[in-house]
Every structure is written in structure tokens, then in C-alpha cells.
Amino acid sequence: MLRSLLVDFNSYFASVEQQMHPHLRGKPVGVVPSMAATTCCIAASYEAKKFGVKTGTLLKDAKALCPEIIFVHASHEHYVEFHERAKVAVDSIIPIRKVLSIDEVDCDLPAHARTPEAARALAMKIKQAIYTRVGEHLHTSIGIGPNTFIAKTASDMMKPNGLVVIEKHELPHRLFGLKLRDLSGIGKSMEARLNKHGITTIEQMASVNQSQLHTIWGGVGGDRMYQRLHGEWVPDLETQTHSISHSHVLPPVERNETDAYAILHRLTQKAAMRLRKMGYYATHMSVFMKYMNGPTWGRDSRFTETQDTVIFLRALDSMWQEKPTKRLLKPLAVGMVLHGLVPENEHTGTLFDNEEARERLYGAIDQLNLKFGKNTVYFGGAHHARDSAPMRIAFNHIPDLDTEQ
């Protein structure tokens, strides 16, 4: 029985750029985080991919592969806006079960649409809804299968603008033409582990029993892979937020300690605002700085569970005092993480501080920034980085436009 329909937006960042800017349509496009010569493409249009340009290709290499490529600076706010519009379009045809990433959503097929013919018809309605309500240049590949894993695999089998249905009775042999790394959940290290057990193809992996895969994976991940491969419905594992992080690669003009510190200050303030909005307290903070000409430096700090920006900034200052003092070191990137998150309903207040008054203060600051825009109220250490470290999108994390701009 078919149960899952997965919508994958093809070359999403580049497609949004082509939708917004007609002069880019039909041309090779590389989306970049900055126009620095040392950066790389974070996305490429299909016209660029034909020349071998892909995510991670350095600008100079992309230019060598495709002399006509047009580089555009990433506009993450627009990518999130288009994502929200796309969700509305999909949801107008079929309810979204789960957003998997900025460019993928998974839907449960309704009971009346679980035959191949009905599921295909529904998929075509989704494509048309996206075409008319979001844009004609946002193509999708839709995969349909008995579970989300198979639907995702199917969506990758025909790009761009594909539609692939895999039924349970076709499994696992329908996948035998793929490579191990084509399957979600099998990365470089897992492929190496499978190889050590004499498994180099999907056919070989499908031939072993569930107990053997459990042993190879080192846990229930092997059981879940076995069940997915054979078309069983595998419920999602419950997940919990364990950390909130921000990082930023410094453009050439900011590769100095003064700007690096200001950006870390700004990232810490952004993370504190996210923490409060998500309803958590933190007990542990880490910072790091990567150098162009030296090893990565990092420090950790622990404190009583808090949402207090001042405490985080004091921890930052304390850790910053321990950074390397060699003047020849040149910063390349900085980042920070809030760990040990405690949900608000499990938080134990302190007897020795006016925590309630502080929470009202930060609530007022957050509301001012939400209403009047970022940097309406901020701590002075971030003054020189007010317009630095803009919002970035990881494919498995869709930023909140209110807190991450």
C-alpha cells in the first residue's frame, strides 16, 4: 500500500533566484554566500550542473567549468518566504505531515489516493498548484512509496521535474540499480562500515536479515533500515532539541579579532533570543574560532540554567580572554553553541536572583526587535557587527525570520 508522497524542490535556492529574476532563467547560476574569491557555491542551477558545478564548488573552479556562469549572492530571507508559500500550495491539495528540510516536505496519502493511479493524479495537482501559486520556475520531483524513506529515494530517481512511484511489492529489487550512498542515512562512514562487512551494493544489503543489519549499524538504526528497505511503515523517532548554534565565515574585510569578537557577540544575542522564543534554558555554552593559518581554537563554559543574555555574554568575554595571542593568526570563521537545554516546564528557578524581572526585560527587548526590526535594541559589543552574520539556511533547519535575520 502506498502511504507517503514526498515533494522535493529541484535546485531550490537557484530556482528561487530564477523565479525572482527573469534575466537568470535558462542560464547557469551559482548561488554564493559572498562574492569573495575564496568562497564556494552553496547551490547551482541545473544549467550549471550540466557543466559539473555543484554545491561546494569553489568560485574559481565553477568559472573554469562554466565560463558563462552567473554568481548571485544568497538571499536567505526570500528562500524562507518561498518555502512558506510552497507549503501553502502543497497543503491546499494534501496535508503536509512533516517538513523535512527547506526543500522537502512529506505528506501522508489519504485513503482514497493510495493506488498508483490516484497517487499520480494527486501529485500532478500538487505540481500545478506550485506552478500557479508559487512560480513556474520552481520545479519539483515527487516520490511516492509505502514509507517516507522509499518516497524520498523515489524523488531522487528522476530529476528535475520527475514523478516516480515505487510499490511495496517491487521492493527491495527496485532499488538494486542504485548505489549505497544514494540511500538516505548512508554516508561515507556508514558505507565504509558496510564495506567492512562485505556489503558493497544495495542488493547485498537487502540479502542480510534484520538482526545482521542491527549488528552492523550498532543499534536500532539497522532494524529501521531493514524495515524501510522492505517497504514497512516506520514511525518517526521522537526528537528533542539539544542545542542552539550559530556560525559565520568571515569575509576578507572582517578577518581580524575585533570583527570576529563583534560577530560572536551578535551571534550570542541571536541565539539567546531564539532560546527564549523556543522555550528553553541553557546550561552550557561553547565558542570556537577557525584560523586561516592555525588550528581551531575553542572553549566551553557552564552555568546555572538560564535565558539571560548578559550571562551568555559574560561567558563569551571570559572565554575570549583565553584565545591565542599570536598576532600572525588570521581568523576565518567563528561560531557559538548553547547546550544542555532545559524546557521551560522543567526549569527550576533560582532563589538568589530576580529572575522574573530579567525575563520581563528580555521579553520587552525581544518584542521591540520583532516589531521594529533587528538591532532596534542590542548590547553594544555587537555594534560593529550589526549588519554582519546574516541569516543562513541549513537544509535541515528552516530559520525563523523573526529571530534570525
pLDDT at 390: 55
Q: Which residue has the higher pLDDT, 400 or 125?
A: 125
220 Cα distance to chain centroid: 24
DSSP state string for 88-149: HHHHTTS-EEEEEETTEEEEEPPGGG-SHHHHHHHHHHHHHHHHHHT-TT--EEEEEESSHH
**Each residue of 129-142: pLDDT tens digit?**
999 999 999 999 99
Q: How high is the pLDDT of residue 249?
A: 86
**Residue range 6-31: average pLDDT?**
96
Q: What is the pLDDT of residues 197-211, one digit of tens each?
A: 999 999 999 999 999
Question: Looking at the predicted structure, is the pLDDT value of residue 277 above 90?
Answer: no
The pLDDT-based confidence of 352 (bands split at 50, 70, 90) is very low
Fold of 12-78: MutS, DNA mismatch repair protein, domain I (3.40.1170)
Residue 238: predicted pLDDT: 67
Average pLDDT of the chain? Answer: 88
pLDDT score of 363 more than 70: no
Distance between CA atoms of residues 29 and 43, nearest Å: 8
Could you check whether the bond before residue 160 is cis, i.e. omega within 30 degrees of 0? Answer: yes
Among 17, 104, 254, 404, which one carries the catalytic annotation?
104
> pLDDT of 217-245, one tens digit each?
999 999 999 999 999 998 887 666 688 99
Query: For the structural domain made of 244-404, what CATH number should be given?
Result: 3.30.1490.100
In the block, cell 528552516 appears at 398
Determine the average pLDDT of the residues in 17-38. Answer: 92
Whether 255 and 331 have beta carbons less than 8 Å apart is answered as yes
Assess whether pLDDT exceeds 70 at residue 350. Answer: no
* Of the candidate ranges 80-89, 180-189, 369-378, the one whose mean pLDDT is the lowest: 369-378
Q: Tell me whether residue 359 is one of the annotated catalytic residues.
A: no
Of residues 250 and 165, more confidence is placed in: 165
- 274 or 356: which carries more pLDDT confidence? 274
**Separation of alpha carbons 304 and 395, rounded Å:** 32
Residue range 168-187: mean pLDDT, rounded: 95
Quick check: 357 pLDDT over 90? no
Residue 71's Cβ-count burial label (10 Å; 0-12, 13-18, 19+) is middle
pLDDT at 300 exceeding the cut of 90: yes
**CATH topology for the 4-9+90-229 domain:** Alpha-Beta Plaits (3.30.70)
Evaluate if residue 358 carries a pLDDT over 70: no
Q: Alpha helices of 200-308 — where are they, by DSSP H?
A: 202-207, 210-217, 220-229, 257-278
Please report, for the chain, the start and end positions of each structural domain, with discontinuous segments joined by +. Answer: 4-9+90-229, 12-78, 244-404
Residue scoring higher pLDDT (283 or 356): 283
Measured at the CA of 15, the angle between CA 76 and CA 236, to 5 degrees, comes to: 70
Which pLDDT value is given to residue 90?
96
- Span 354-371, average pLDDT: 62
Say if residues 307 and 272 touch (Cβ distance below 8 Å).
yes
pLDDT for the residue 379: 60
Nearest-Å Rg of the Cα atoms of the chain is 24
Quick check: 183 pLDDT over 50?
A: yes
The pLDDT of residue 282 is 92
